[in-house]
Every structure is written in structure tokens, then in C-alpha cells.
Amino acid sequence: MHSIAIAGMGRMGGNMARRLLAKGIKPVVWNRDTAKLPRLEAAGAVTAKTLTELVLKMKAPRAVWMMLPSGEPTETLFLGLLSLLEKGDVIIDGANGNWNDAVRRAKKASETGIDFLDAGVSGGIWGLENGYCIMTGGPKPVFEKAEPFIKALCQDGGYMNCGGPGAGHFAKMVHNGIEYAMMEAYGEGFDLLHASPFGEIDMAGLASVWNRGSVIRSWLLELAQNAFDKDPKLENLSGIVPDSGEGRWAVEEAVRLGVPLPAISTSLFKRFRSQMKDNFGDRLSAALRREFGGHGVEERMKDEG
């Protein structure tokens, strides 16, 4: 490929463009909100205010990496690029999208002679400094065309073509399901420590100790240490934990394929629970305890709805 563009300058896309620049690759960048473009232009990127301008500023064959939220934003961008790119160009879908959408887009792109890769991207805001981990799906020759750009974005050995269209997003879906379960395990463990009879345990200190030789050491545990260093009692945070989609899809696929995922499923449902201010089912349980055993209940405040 002669040139690459990143379409979408959010937390991930903007840093991916900056990492390419640090590796000596000058990307073209586009964003729906053009206010973000001047800073990237100052950093050395070529900016485009429209998709037409983006394509015109690139030398064929082109690779355009989509980094918008999954769903309608990515679909609209995909269709726009499909109408502007030429045979032999590559569209890379880097959104955390459903793998079935990637399969459909790959088929649609192939009908116009445009190549397609789906790319699951992990690394978060730390990817700029540390490098990303990228899982792609698509034909091997297409992957090889885009590989120099993928390699520049990643840590050494931090990328892999996982199979045909959709395989990259399927792998990322499983990756995020595992992430859900690991986060839940750490949350439960530290919750038990918080309730221990030994007073206030130094959570940051213990996380640091566990990261030095223990079997549960991990980057997530390093991040837990960072969080405790900033706010030892986590008093400045809400306990609401959104789910971004991949965990749901992993559980849905597990049901479809008959694969038991008890830990990942529980962690997903725990996230649902965290988003509920006052659960109807819990109120019924309280009412039942009152009815069959005369147990006391707490009345809701009127302004709670």
C-alpha cells in the first residue's frame, strides 16, 4: 500500500495517527468534527475535511482505517468510502463491531473490487506509547498489503491475522469477554479485602506486591494499582460499569454454539446490575421476605420514582 488514512480521531484514532507519525509514516486524517484536525496537522499529519478530500490526498493503492463507534457511524462511513475508493484499495474496520457486520461488509466491498479487513484493536489510551495489539480478519494477501501499517502500530509480535472475514472482530469479542471476567474477579477480590477484619489494607501496595511474581499479575492489576494510588478508597468514582457490546455478543455466541461461559456471563450480568439504580426484582424479594417472615423492609424515598 502506498498510503494510509485514519478516519475518526477519537481516543483511539487520534493516538493511532500519532503513533504512525512517530514511526515515520505520514497518514491522512479525517474526523466528523473538524475542530480536532489542526492539532494533528501541527503534529505532521495530512488533514482532510471531507471524505472526498481524504481520497484525493492519498496515492493509490490506499488503505483507509475506520475508527468510529460501531453501528450507524461506521456503516455510514463505510458506504461513503465504498463510493469513493478504487479497485485494489483497502478498507480496514477498526471499530469494536459485531463480527457479522464485518462479514457482510467484506462481501459488499468485494463486489466493487475493494478489499476489506476487520481489525480488533486493543491497547486503549496507552497504545500510543506502548503499541497496540491488533487482530485482523480477511484474506491473507489483503492482510499482507496492509501489514506494514499494522506492524508500525503494534508492539513487537502484537498482531495476527486470525482467519477469514469477521475473524478479527470475533477474536476481539472473545478478548473483551475475557477482559470482563478478569475485571470482575479483581473487583470481587479487592471487595473482600475491603471488608477484611484487618483494618484498612494498603490496596495499592498489595497490587504492587501481587504484580511481582504472583500468578495473578497482569496489566489490569497494574492499572488497579494506579487507580488506588490516585484514590485509595475509590471515593470519587461511581460504581456504574457500562457494557460496550462485545461481552453481550460473546455470551450470545456461546449460547448459539453451546459453549459454557459461566465467568464471562456472570461478569456481563454484574455490569447490567451496576447500571440499575433501584432494581424491581430486589424490591419484590424484599416484599416476599416481609410477607412470609415478617422481616423489616426499607421504604423508598418518594423522589426515587
CATH of the domain at 253: 1.10.1040.10
Residue 179 appears among annotated catalytic residues = yes
On whether residue 51 sits in a domain, the answer given is yes
Identify the pLDDT of residue 180: 94
Element (H, E) at 88: none
Residues 14, 103: one domain? yes
Residues 87, 231: one domain? no
247: Cβ–Cβ under 8 A, 6 or more apart, which residues?
Answer: 176, 177, 180, 264, 267, 268, 271
Looking at the 3D structure of the chain, how many domains does it have? 2
Q: Rounded to the nearest 5 degrees, what angle is found at the Cα of 33, between the Cα atoms of 29 and 38? A: 55
On whether residue 294 sits in a domain, the answer given is no
- Ramachandran angles phi, psi of 95, nearest 5°: -70, 155
What is the spatial distance between Cα 129 and Cα 126, in angstroms, rounded to a whole number? 6
On whether residue 296 sits in a domain, the answer given is no
Burial of 305 (0-12, 13-18, 19+ CB in 10 A): exposed
Catalytic choice (36, 145, 172, 184): 172
Residues 122, 181: one domain? no
Final residue in a domain of this structure, among 163, 195, 223:
163
Residues 17, 110: one domain? yes
On whether residue 186 sits in a domain, the answer given is yes
Q: Residue 104: give its domain's CATH number.
A: 3.40.50.720
Residues 32, 134: one domain? yes
On whether residue 291 sits in a domain, the answer given is no
If phi over 0 gives left and psi between -120 and 50 gives alpha, with beta otherwise, what is residue 181? alpha
Residue 302 appears among annotated catalytic residues = no
Residues 29, 55: one domain? yes
Q: State the CB neighbour count (10 A cutoff) for residue 41.
A: 12
Residues 105, 214: one domain? no
- Ramachandran angles phi, psi of 5, nearest 5°: -130, 150
Identify the pLDDT of residue 237: 83
Final residue in a domain of this structure, among 139, 163, 187:
163
Report which DSSP code applies to 36. G
On whether residue 70 sits in a domain, the answer given is yes
- Ramachandran angles phi, psi of 67, nearest 5°: -130, 50
Residues 205, 88: one domain? no
Catalytic choice (53, 75, 147, 179): 179
Structural domain for 49, as ranges: 3-163
Residues 175, 270: one domain? yes
Low-confidence ranges of the chain (pLDDT < 50): 303-305
